[in-house]
Homo-oligomer: A and B are copies of this chain.
Amino acid sequence: MRGVVLHAPGDVRVEDREDPVLMHPTDAIIRPSAVCVCGSDLWPYRGIEEVSGPTPMGHEYVGVVDEVGSAVNTIRPGQFVVGSFFASDGTCEICRSGYQPSCAQRVAMGAIGTQAERVRIPLADGTLVATPEHPPADLVPGLLAASDVLGTGWFGAVAAEAGPGKTVAVVGDGAVGLLAVLAARRLGAERVIAMSRHPSRQELAREFGATDVVEERGDDGVARIAELTGGLGAHSVVEAVGTQESMMQAIRSTRPGGHVGYVGVAHDVALPGHELFFSHVHLHGGPAPVRRYLPRLVDLVWRREIDPGKVFDLTLPLEQAAAGYQAMDRRSAVKTLLTP
């Protein structure tokens, strides 16, 4: 089968990979209908994360179940399914508490590489959510978004305790940040401030429910948020970048007692304890437990109440994956959808 492999920073190839087989009785094999390129795929693509030899890429996926192992009970061949970027058993104490990416049996789908024609999904019963029936084509992008960026933005907004009466600021205008705007509004936030200096992303943020846009960054961005919130800072801030600057911008934009939800994978971040202490903020984040939200998110997409698929502004056949990575790297695309 064909699949995407990163050989070195900037060197994405589509090549023949070995066909996956059922390795455990709890596995399923799916044929992805659509996969995509994640902001976090850009870290190794840009050489910020080390690339040690050829690496299969991708961790987002929707598709049709091809085969299931003997211990798979709820997922059946032929179903259309959405899964998260961590496979998880769904039964342990950590899964039941809603932190599936920390499941003791977790498997990072990024280590398997979903940008391919067929994909092995470990722990299929715990990981996959089936749609009521096969979706019409126009719903596929939205369902694919639920697999990571929507679920991650949603977790960011939940972790930031976005809700009625709250002012929420979002740091980062990638797909996750934009969908955190959508999530904050769906969760009832009164005011949602998107921090973006990119006109087309600002437009999408407004479409997703942003009430304000702040173009300034860093200290200037913090000052603008203060100005917009009577000097106090936002109640809730979602951080969706993962750098030292963006984390500090998020913390400093939050009022005392407010909540920072951080979902950008932290790279070279060190939080100054003294400042954090006196900031009085709540901090929560990490790899989003997308599986916790998937039934609700799939339902919202299915009933066309939300259209998170709008973050895909470039669709290419899998064979042209390299061009899809390049477009995201250059920020000419927000998010690339690939059709195997």
Contacts and interface: CB of A to CB of B under 8 A. Distances in A.
Interface of A: 93-94, 97-99, 101-102, 104, 230-232, 242, 244, 247, 255-257, 262, 265-274, 276-287
Given A277-B286, A283-B284, 17 more contacts: A93-B232, A94-B257, A98-B257, A99-B280, A101-B280, A102-B256, A102-B257, A102-B280, A262-B277, A266-B274, A266-B276, A269-B272, A270-B270, A270-B271, A270-B272, A277-B287, A281-B284
A257 B287 contact: no
Contact of A257 (B99, B232, B274, B281): B99
B271 A271 contact: yes
A94 B98 CA distance: 31
Contacts of A282: 282-284
A101 B99 CA distance: 33
Contacts of A266: 273-274, 276-277
Contacts of A273: 242, 244, 247, 266-271
Contacts of A242: 273
A121 B17 CA distance: 73
18 contacts: A94-B255, A94-B256, A99-B280, A101-B280, A265-B277, A266-B276, A266-B277, A267-B273, A269-B272, A270-B271, A270-B272, A270-B273, A271-B271, A277-B286, A278-B286, A281-B284, A282-B284, A283-B283
A109 to B, nearest CB: 16
A231 B92 CA distance: 12
